Amino acid sequence: MTEVPLSAYLVLALVLFCIGLYGALTKRNTVIVLISIELMLNAANINFVAFSRLGVTPSITGQVFSLFSITIAAAEAAVGLAILMALYRRKKTVNIDEMDTLKH
Amino acid sequence: MDLQTMLNYHWEAMIPEFIILGTTVLLTLLDLFWPPYIKRRRLAWIGLIGILLSLLSLLAVLPIEVVSILDDSFRLDSFAKAFKMLLLVGAAFVMLLAESYEPKEGMKEQRGEFYYLFLTALLGAMIMTSSGDLITLFIGLELLSISSYILAGIRKHHTASNEAAMKYVISGGISTAITLFGMSYLYGLTGSTNLKAMSIIMKETVDTQFLYLFGLAFFMVLVGLSFKIASAPFHMWAPDVYQGAPIPVTAFLSVVSKTAGFAIILRILLSLYREVWGDAVGAFSFFESNSIYIAFLAGITMIIGNVVALRQRNLKRLFAYSSIAHAGYLLVAFATLGGQYFLFDTFWFYLLAYLFMNLGAFAVIQVVSGNTEQEGIDMLTGLYQRSPWLAVAMGISILSLAGIPGTAGFIAKVSIFLGAFAVDPGFYVLAAIMAGTTVISYIYYFGILVQLFLRSSIIQTKPKVPAGINILVAVCVLMTILFGLAPNIALDFFHQHFGDLLDF
Amino acid sequence: MMENAWLIPLIPLFSSVILLIFGKQLRESAAYIGILAVLVSFICSVIVLVERIDAPTYKQEIVWLVTGEVNITAGFEVTALNTLLLVMVSLVSCLVQIYSKGYMEGEKRFSIFYTYLGFFTFAMLGLVLSPNLLQLYFFWELVGLGSFLLIGFYFYKKEAKEAAKKAFIMTRIGDLGLLIAIILLFWKTGSFDFQEIFSSIGAGEISGGMLTLIALLLFAGAVGKSGQFPLHSWLPDAMEGPTPVSALIHAATMVAAGVYLVAVTFPIFSASSTAMETVAVIGGFTAIFAASIALVQKDIKRILAYSTISQLGYMMLALGTAGYTAGIFHLLTHAFFKALLFLAAGSIIHAIHTQDIYKMGGLWKKMRLTSPLFLIGALSISGVPLLSGFFSKDEILVSAWVNGNFLLFWIAMITAFLTSFYVFRLFFLIFTGQPKTEVVSKESPFSMVLPMGILGILAVCSGYIQTPWFGSYLGEFLVKGNKFLLVPAHSEGPAWIMAAAAVFSLSGILLAYLIYVKQTISRNFLIKEGSFINTTLINKYFIDETYYFTVGKTVKGLALFCSYIERFVIGGFEWAVTGTIRSLGSAGARLQSGQVQVYGVAVFAGLAVLVIIYALTGGLIR
Amino acid sequence: MTFLLSVLVFSPILGILLLLLTSKQHESNLKMFGFIGTVPPLLVSLILYQYYASGASLADFTIKNNWIRFGNLSQYDAKLFTVDYELAIDGFSLVLVLMTALLTSLAAFASHSIKKEWKGYFVLLLFLEIGMLGVFTAQNLVLFFLFFELTLISAFFLVGKWGFAEKEKAAYSFLLYNGIGSAILLIVIMILFARAGTTNIQALTHIITIGGVPTIAPISATMKYALLVGLVAAFAIKLPIFPMHRWMVMVHVEAPTPIVMLHAGVLLKIGAYGMIRFGMGIFPEQFKSVAIYLAVLGVINFLYGAFMAFIQTDFKRVLAYSSISHMGVVLIGLGSLQAAGVQGAVFQVVSHGLIAALLFYLVGIIQEKTDTSLISDLGGLAKTVPRLSGWLLAGSFASLGLPGMSGFVSEFLAFLGLFKSEPWLAAIGSIGIVMTAVYMLRAVLDITFGKEKEKYEHLTDLNWLQQIPAGILLLLIVSIGVYPSLLGEPLQRTLDAIMIGIGR
């Protein structure tokens, strides 16, 4: 079977990153925003894995890196959600555009 | 690798980190097992002791040569030592602040974690300063970030605090993603995450295609990390978070976290890009040909920071903008690379000065606002009558922030200017912007001074000053003046123990 | 004594300082100190004069200031001209101070008055002794200060205030010319010293045009001080000061300083025919111009003031027509008889407390001593033969004639006629006819009469130092040994001039007699009441008004213009800058909308911009 | 002997300590100590003058210690990027120091009119004195700048707290205008420092004029011009030169009169001092080519100030604009490039210092007695307060340049110079000489002469104590006016040096 070229992965990652960014910047629901951020991080992970297999000088480090970043992403998400919970208790909403008491 | 090699490593080089880690664990356990009637404040003292111990141990390890553990995933070089020192001192002060911090609803809710989260964040920061591997750097970064997310939202039942934390998480997440994405490209282009190895590969690259991609990666990483130092246009989270977070956290963000941010930027970008070709034939270095971008960022950062600060009535928000402005000044040093003579000492001294003057100011703010929620500038009105000592201390810190001669802030600015002009052609426009915005900054800094000294207040209640804060303020003011009048105490120390950071 | 001549000015200064400090305690007895001091310096000056008669010029200097390579010096010089004026000034000043003892009796600020007098005398004597132009200017201004202070002595009177201000400023306009002339001379000749300047002019180091310019600027100074047209209008107003002051400053000494200046820098003028012309013309014009105004005024002191202006015009005319001796001669005689007239007028005012001649009359019987003395003065000024005025005026007429300037000559003649007319108009209105005021006026005290007496004597016989019959001692004395002075000691003219002059003046007196005593001729014989000419004369040719509407308005306008620049241009600029910064700030604050996603957009935008620019430029821009 | 200058500059600290030890209620004590604090510098400066008069060389007093070292270039050159603590004094400085010490004492004496917070007031006053003395003795630009800013800050507070109605506004415009000035100055200093590696005046003069010394980065010819223009601009704001003069008018109107005495007397002179010392001293060649513009500006100042003063209704404003006008004379003198002109400028610096101090001292008393300085409200004062009016008259005559007073000498010399180099310009400018008389007499006569206002019948005249300051000042004014060599002697050497510098 023929190898999928590196460029394909990179494009995929880039697309994924952009989708994530788009979601993070447009969605009203904070949960979805957090998920979109996960998407962006995962896009990076795809890069790492792809590079570690098909990069200029393939090495295992990339996969290690991606493992770490997955964990970190999880932790970040957890913290994010926890904070969202606290906020939800006070404001009874998860709409991100209603969090604007601090401004100017 | 086998156990033997593991044991052969110079673990003593990591003692400061270990101490912090140990303290953290200890605090966690104490927090867990202490009966509720014991005040959790004491944890702060223990934490402080831990920090001081690790500071001592750092001084102890100062003389030893460069140590690299686990193939550079931890390295203790002069750079690391220098910045760790700043971080530890800053953290110690912040801990003092935290100890006497008393929000309206009291500290019942957030018990111990308030104190030891500072330590975890500190640990992350320290890792950021002393690692030669992207992975560990990234982990350190995230450790710092995540801890500070929680710290920002530590006041569960305070809307502003929650909101601040939420905003912090989201914008932090985005920038993390960008950073990571950039790193992934760096890895892809070099096939390694070890900075040394990467830089060797990069400096040998002559293929313009690759150079081009290096550039893209550079910007991604820069932008992602600029989030930490809150430089425009990646600063917008800062005012909100600073305003919403509890004062000690704000102080922490504006001093420790910012220092760490600069540390990691220098660490990654300098060690990778210093010798990369800036054009097809290698006539210019990468920084020579791209400093214009950093200069641009620095320029708008200074302008936005100072100009928008004019509009602020909330002190914490005001200081957010002022710290943005200061990030801008430091970026000038980064853009000019300190005119090749004054790079690291400029950064180091500036951050040192900034640490003292900023923390001094925050301490006073915290004391004066007490457990009332008011944070407006007017709360300082006529402080001179109520408590001359605090007023003078605040005044000196402000003057230093404004960069008036005789204070550390001035010397710091001078060395930035030196960097900007020592090269040919000098960065005249950038320097002009810096000078101009400094003058603009006089307006709001002296606005505070006017409140402190020139106006007289209605309320005559003397703010009660805890011993810890008194010490803190005293030290800060003393240092601000001392380093203003005899900066070589600090500079010589730097040059003796860290040299020109050639082992960087 | 000559080597100690510098003491002469300092003694009055010393007295005035004493009076300034201890005046309060001394009160009326302050007069004695003042008088004593000036008496001493009078005696000294007489001694100096006597010594000088058969001794060369004496000069002594010290370094005043070193600028660059040049040493600016200060010192004193005893020349023929100096000594004469020393004597004249100190004498008149002494007499006036004696006079004032009586005149100022009961004045609260008596000692201050003597302080000022002392200071003025010091300044005037210093002026006279100056060996170089800078020092001359130095005292020139101090004299102005003295005059300012004394005019404004009754400071609570609005008129006095205005008059003082006007006097100082108008003279300062002239002084500016003098200052510039001095500076130009310095750069051309490298010195302020008279001798050196003259010698380098003699060597023809200065181009003709420049020389003329300098001479004219010098003359501007003289015009200001001597109240020549067009800077004359301060002098009549200066009459707001106490009458003794008018006698001392505005008749005898300070106003003569202008003439003195021209005389002392005569070599400069004589080197430029244009300058000489100008001096002569201005002098002649002023003479007739002022005389014509004097015809219709009704304030006794103002009439005398205009007559002073006119007489000074005479002197200028003399100098302008190379009548060096004539000018100085008239300066001396005029000092005596005009001082006399003023003092007499003063004693009249002292007696009946009014200055309006139409409110006077019939005083001849009441004031037995003042009246004849006034008459002497009047005769002398109108040039009745054998009195001092006659000789000096004749000298001037001759020099004008010899100079071949016939127009000016006839102007002078007519002026002589007008002079005698207005003086005797004054005389008759005051002393003859019926008393119009019911004030029982008595003769003035001895302290006032004595000085008048002395002056009277001088007014009669001071003329004989320079006469066509007994020889021209004055001229000889002045010209002898002065190598820069290329003028004859005495200019010979046709004898008929003397006769004609006498006729003119006598006919003037006769006309006045007919109009104001006999009243055979109506007062409207010459000029009808309310006719154009009459109003013009009464309003002094509307000179002040003209100045107000031209110079005054211009200055005001310029000032307003400046203030508009200040408020709108500069202020506007400030406003713009601060406004821009402020609006930038608010814009930035508005961007900070509190929407975290906006922040995200900002981050992304920032990244995008950087990357795109980088991409487009290929990362290879510098 | 070298310690003497340090003693001179820092001796006010004694007074500061004394004040800090007294409680802030003891009005009389504080006032006394405040005055006493200004005595030591006066004594020291008199001692210095004594040494000078007895023929000792002022160079013996030069003091020079290592202070700051930037960067770590000791391996190249130990003196590189060092700033020494170096004070020295020459005739010019000596005169200004004497004037400063004297005026400060008089100002402290005149400060009995201060109503509140005497402690802070006098402390700041003494700090101001340290600053002023330092400015005139500093031998390198950084040190100069330090003292310069010290004056700025203390003056800001003195104006802002103890001034009249619009004090804060005045303080702000003072701060911002001077802030811009000092920003420009700082940039110039920094460029010189960064390029030449030193800020010592002699060293810089050597580098700029003779050259041949290797510099860190080249200093091109155009840059020299730019630097000079920057210097001139910076000091022009201080002087002030039209159109940057508005702040100065505000300060003169709003500041407490003792401070205005110092401000008009000394602080404005710093501008002139800087222009002469640094402008002409370091950049003689370049200065020659911009001189003509300075002369034009000077004439504009001279006339503009005069015309503005002519239509002011407030006597303080009249004096403020007359200061502007008289500062024009300084420029006229400098612009002439003639020995006489420069000498005139220097004379004017001293002379106007004394005259302005005298006049503002008297205005202060008038305002104290009548609560107004509006010309229209005053009038006929000579009747009730003859002594006061007498001094005022004397002062105004001094200011309109009456011979026998110092003002005449300086104006004469300045114009003497300008008539040599630019006759037409001088001719235009000389109109101002008449205008000076016009506006001065208008203002002063309207105040003193004329009908007295009945509301002032009860005014009390000056007592002998109040006359002392006026007496001292007038004595100096007159003695300089009568025998200018008093001043000419000490200044001669400095002037010669300058003239040699500009090759005349």
Give tens-digit pLDDT for B436-445: 999 999 999 9
CA–CA distance, D218 with D200 (Å, rounded to integer): 18
**Which residue of chain D has the CA closest to C136?**
D403
CA–CA distance, D193 with D140 (Å, rounded to integer): 10
According to the 3-state scheme, what is the secondary structure of D278-327? Answer: HHHHHCHHHHHHHHHHHHHHHHHHHHHHHHHHHCCCEHHHHHHHHHHHHH
- Segment D93-108 shows an average pLDDT of 94
**Which residue of chain A has the CA closest to C608?**
A18
Q: Is residue C470 scored above 80 in pLDDT?
A: no
What pLDDT score was predicted for residue D452? 80
CA–CA distance, D260 with D356 (Å, rounded to integer): 9
Flag whether residue B195 sits within 8 Å of chain A, measured between CB atoms: no
CB contact under 8 A, A76 and B146: yes
pLDDT class for C482, splitting at 50, 70, 90?
A: confident
Q: Which A-chain residues 7-66 have CB contacts (< 8 A) with chain C?
A: 21, 24-26, 33
- Segment C23-33 shows an average pLDDT of 82
The neighbours of chain B, by the rule of 3 or more Cβ pairs under 8 Å, are: A, C, D
The neighbours of chain C, by the rule of 3 or more Cβ pairs under 8 Å, are: A, B, D
Task: Calculate how close chain C gets to D29, using CA atoms only, in Å.
Answer: 33
CA–CA distance, B327 with B309 (Å, rounded to integer): 14
Task: Calculate how close chain B gets to C570, using CA atoms only, in Å.
Answer: 19
Chains A and C touch (3+ CB pairs under 8 A): yes
**Which residue of chain C has the CA closest to B211?**
C619
CB contact under 8 A, B177 and A75: no
* Coil vs helix vs strand at C65: strand
Q: Is residue C620 scored above 60 in pLDDT?
A: no
CB contact under 8 A, A102 and B138: no
* Letter string b/e over residues B68-97, b meaning 16 or more CB atoms within 10 A of that residue's CB: bbeebbbbbbbbbbbbbbbbbbbbbbbbbb
Who's near D281: CB < 8 A, 6+ residues apart? D201, D205, D497, D498, D501
Report chain C residues whose CB lies below 8 A from the CB of D430.
Answer: 176, 179-180
Asked if the structure places residue B5 within a domain, the reply is: no
D199 neighbors D192 (Cβ within 8 angstroms): yes
Instruction: Give which of D309, D334, D308 is closest to D444, Cα–Cα.
Output: D309
Tell me how far CA of residue C92 lies from CA of A90, C87, C97, C343, C458, in angstroms.
104, 8, 8, 11, 11
Q: Is residue B21 scored above 70 in pLDDT?
A: yes
CB contact under 8 A, C613 and B237: no
ipTM at complex level:
0.91
CB contact under 8 A, C606 and B234: yes
Flag whether residue C586 sits within 8 Å of chain D, measured between CB atoms: no
Asked if the structure places residue B54 within a domain, the reply is: no
Provide the residue range defining the domain that includes B462. 321-504
Task: Calculate how close chain B gets to C611, using CA atoms only, in Å.
Answer: 6
**Which residue of chain C has the CA closest to A101?**
C594
Calculated CA dihedral for residues D209, D213, D215, D218, nearest 10 degrees:
50
CA–CA distance, D160 with D255 (Å, rounded to integer): 8
CB contact under 8 A, D194 and B422: yes
What pLDDT score was predicted for residue C622? 39
Instruction: Give which of C53, C101, C99, C103 is closest to C79, Cα–Cα.
Output: C53
Flag whether residue C180 sits within 8 Å of chain D, measured between CB atoms: yes
Task: Calculate how close chain D gets to B390, using CA atoms only, in Å.
Answer: 15
Flag whether residue C6 sits within 8 Å of chain D, measured between CB atoms: no
CB contact under 8 A, C622 and B288: yes
D272 neighbors C524 (Cβ within 8 angstroms): no
CB contact under 8 A, A76 and B311: no
- Segment B377-406 shows an average pLDDT of 92
CA–CA distance, D464 with D486 (Å, rounded to integer): 27
CA–CA distance, C514 with C512 (Å, rounded to integer): 5
CA–CA distance, C425 with C295 (Å, rounded to integer): 8
Instruction: Give which of D219, D285, D228, D263 is closest to D500, Cα–Cα.
Output: D285
CA–CA distance, D364 with D469 (Å, rounded to integer): 13
Containing H/E element for B69?
strand B67-69
CB contact under 8 A, B223 and C606: yes
- Segment D22-28 shows an average pLDDT of 85
Asked if the structure places residue B382 within a domain, the reply is: yes
Report chain B residues whose CB lies below 8 A from the CB of D68.
Answer: 411, 486-488, 491
Chains D and A touch (3+ CB pairs under 8 A): no
Asked if the structure places residue B376 within a domain, the reply is: yes
Chains D and B touch (3+ CB pairs under 8 A): yes
Flag whether residue B474 sits within 8 Å of chain D, measured between CB atoms: no
Q: Is residue C219 scored above 70 in pLDDT?
A: yes
Flag whether residue C578 sits within 8 Å of chain B, measured between CB atoms: no
Who's near D320: CB < 8 A, 6+ residues apart? D248, D249, D252, D253
pLDDT tens digits for D52-62?
888 888 888 89
Task: Calculate how close chain A gets to C610, using CA atoms only, in Å.
Answer: 17
CA–CA distance, C334 with C313 (Å, rounded to integer): 12
CB contact under 8 A, A55 and B187: yes
Provide φ and ψ at D372, rounded to 5°.
Answer: -155, 155
pLDDT tens digits for C561-585?
999 999 999 999 999 999 999 999 9
| Structural domain count, chain B | 1
Flag whether residue B165 sits within 8 Å of chain A, measured between CB atoms: yes
Structure-model confidence comparison of residues A55 and D413, the more confident one: D413
pLDDT class for B203, splitting at 50, 70, 90?
A: confident
CB contact under 8 A, A24 and C600: yes
Q: What angle do CA B202, B73, B278 make, to 5 degrees?
A: 20
pLDDT class for B109, splitting at 50, 70, 90?
A: low
Asked if the structure places residue B269 within a domain, the reply is: no
* Coil vs helix vs strand at C195: helix
Q: Is residue D504 scored above 80 in pLDDT?
A: no
pLDDT class for D87, splitting at 50, 70, 90?
A: very high
Q: Which D-chain residues 389-418 have CB contacts (< 8 A) with chain C?
A: 397, 402-404, 408-409, 412-413, 415-416
DSSP per residue, C133-165: HHHHHHHHHHHHHHHHHHHTTSTTSHHHHHHHH
Q: Is residue C461 scored above 50 in pLDDT?
A: yes
Could you state, in order of their start, the residue ranges of all structural domains in chain D? Answer: 283-504
Task: Calculate how close chain B gets to C576, using CA atoms only, in Å.
Answer: 15
D42 neighbors D102 (Cβ within 8 angstroms): yes
CB contact under 8 A, C614 and B293: yes
What pLDDT score was predicted for residue C203? 85
Task: Provide the mean pLDDT of chain C.
Answer: 87
CB contact under 8 A, A68 and B135: yes
pTM of structure: 0.93
pLDDT class for B287, splitting at 50, 70, 90?
A: confident
Q: Tell me which of C133, C183, C547 to substitute to probe the interface with D (most D C-beta atoms closer than 10 Å).
A: C183
* Position B211, amino acid: L
CA–CA distance, B161 with B173 (Å, rounded to integer): 18
Q: Is residue C196 scored above 80 in pLDDT?
A: yes
CB contact under 8 A, A96 and C604: no
CB contact under 8 A, B304 and C588: yes
**Which residue of chain D has the CA closest to C71?**
D485
pLDDT class for C368, splitting at 50, 70, 90?
A: confident
Task: Calculate how close chain C gets to B447, using CA atoms only, in Å.
Answer: 15
pLDDT class for C201, splitting at 50, 70, 90?
A: confident
Asked if the structure places residue B76 within a domain, the reply is: no
pLDDT tens, chain A, 104 aa long: 567 888 899 999 999 999 999 999 999 999 999 999 999 999 999 999 999 988 888 888 999 999 999 999 999 999 999 999 999 998 888 898 888 888 88
Task: Calculate how close chain D gets to B50, using CA atoms only, in Å.
Answer: 33
Helices (H), C190-299: 194-202, 208-225, 234-237, 243-247, 254-264, 266-270, 273-294
Tell me how far CA of residue C105 lies from CA of B6, C27, C444, D236, in angstroms.
118, 10, 12, 56
